[in-house]
Amino acid sequence: MTPQSIALNRFGLGYRRGDALPQYPRSWLKQQIGGYEPSPQALAGRAVDGEEVARVIADTAEFRAMRNAAREDDDNPDAAAMMSKERQQDVRRGLIADIALRGRLALETDTPFMERMVHFWSNHFAVSADKAQLPSLVGPYEFGAIRLHVTGYFSDLLKAASLHPAMLAYLDQWQSQGPNSRAAATRERRGRPERGLNENLGREILELHTLGVEGGYTQEDVRELARALTGWTMQGLPAAARATPQPGGAAFFDYIHEPGTRTVMGRSYRDTGTGQALAILDDLAVHPSTARFVATKLARHFAGDTPPESLVDRLAKAFSESGGHLPKVYEALIDAPETWVEEPVKFRQPWEWAVGLLRAGGEMKLADRQFAIMLRELGQQAWRPGSPAGWDDREASWAGANALYRRVEAAERVANLLRLEDVRDLAEAMFPGSLSDTTRQSVRWAESNEMGFALLLVSPEMMRR
């Protein structure tokens, strides 16, 4: 691969039809860091702030109350089922629209390297639309929380993601209650069952978002962080009406917060309400284990499933010396020789393959629903990673025979839909100086432009970056 092709495909999201090729690949990538627009025109009119998130949650709570009331209506026994069906259809339509919007952002962006970073961090702080209430929150989560912080400090990204209502709902944090809180005492006096401490979010922050599984934390650190996080809930819930609103649609309810000083990773944090968890997150964000963990994931994403240790060292150093300033880490990534090796180092995941396909086609003729269906058929539904660990970033998870066959089918459908007439020139632009003779001849000798484009989409150059 030439530097131009590496910049377009390994760092970016693939060549966008009609664009000029980058003359100075490294400079082109670095300029994208400063030129990144967190709220581009495609997001205009899509409310994603905390007020909107609270409205979505309140709307869901209101619907559930109405549905529960309908279940008790003996004169209309089918009313509740009908309400649920209509509600599910509305939610599904909204999710599909958000998935299409995500695709459109990737297609239209002038800063594809940074758009890739949005997808990377969204997967690092994974939530899933599989869980109830999440389908309406995953879009606002990525659009309103992740996007805003990919060019800032990791600590701000960590706090925005971990305490967003989507994450609080996904990991059941909003149901966690301090064992010695006033809420717990009240429930005990009234003879109601204990709600208990939920450790999900605390564990995933330590294991998946900051230190990593080998980062040196203990089970007691998990419990202490979980205790510090009690009280964090979501605006819009009836039970949180008296809670104090927080940024992004979260809320803090001191009534259910576990009182007392907490100790995490050997450091003590006095009880300052919201400030206690925030202070812990700030320290976790700059911990040496976090620097190493984040550096390893970034290196794997850009330099191969088994990334060079020298690159991990280089990125961890940039992370630590900058206090987790992400642009400094991106610059180190761009400057690193390990990310510019000529051989392809990564197998494209279905999402990035589909985005590359759209960018090569030059416009999003796929209807919203078709795009979402294609992703499902390719095995990587947007915002449905299946676990808090996110989608796996290794080839073994994506290069199976059935998965490849589905890409062939999708390539044929898209090629027939777009009916491009300049496939030969397009192939050279997509992989400047890097197109193999075999692929070039396959495209040239194809019986039609459609077949040529389909062959290009399933070529080795398109499968790997």
Q: Which two tokens stand for residue 222?
A: 């998990």
Q: Which two tokens stand for residue 197?
A: 């401490």
pLDDT for 367: 62
Tell me how far apart the terminal alpha carbons of the chain are, to the nearest angstrom: 8
Q: What is the DSSP string of 294-360?
A: HHHHHHHHHH-SS--HHHHHHHHHHHHHTTSBHHHHHHHHHH-GGGG-SS---BPPHHHHHHHHHHH
Please give the model's pTM, rounded to 2 decimal places: 0.95
Q: Rounded CA gap, 58 and 171, in Å?
A: 19
Q: Rounded CA gap, 226 and 176, in Å?
A: 8
Rounded to the nearest integer, the mean pLDDT of the chain is: 94
Segments of the chain with pLDDT less than 50: none
- Count the neighbouring beta carbons within 10 Å of the beta carbon of residue 1: 22
The answer to whether 303 and 11 have CB atoms below 8 angstroms apart is no
pLDDT for 69: 85
* Cα three-residue angle 299-16-29, rounded to 5 degrees: 40
CA-closest candidate to residue 374, choices 55, 61, 19, 103: 103
- Count the neighbouring beta carbons within 10 Å of the beta carbon of residue 254: 18
- 269 in helix, strand or coil? strand
The answer to whether 167 and 141 have CB atoms below 8 angstroms apart is yes
The 10s digit of each residue's pLDDT in 285-320 is 999 999 999 999 999 999 999 999 999 999 999 999
- Count the neighbouring beta carbons within 10 Å of the beta carbon of residue 431: 26
Burial 202-227 (b: 16+ CB within 10 A, else e): bbbbbbbbbbbeebebeeebbbbbbb
CA-closest candidate to residue 98, choices 26, 47, 150: 47
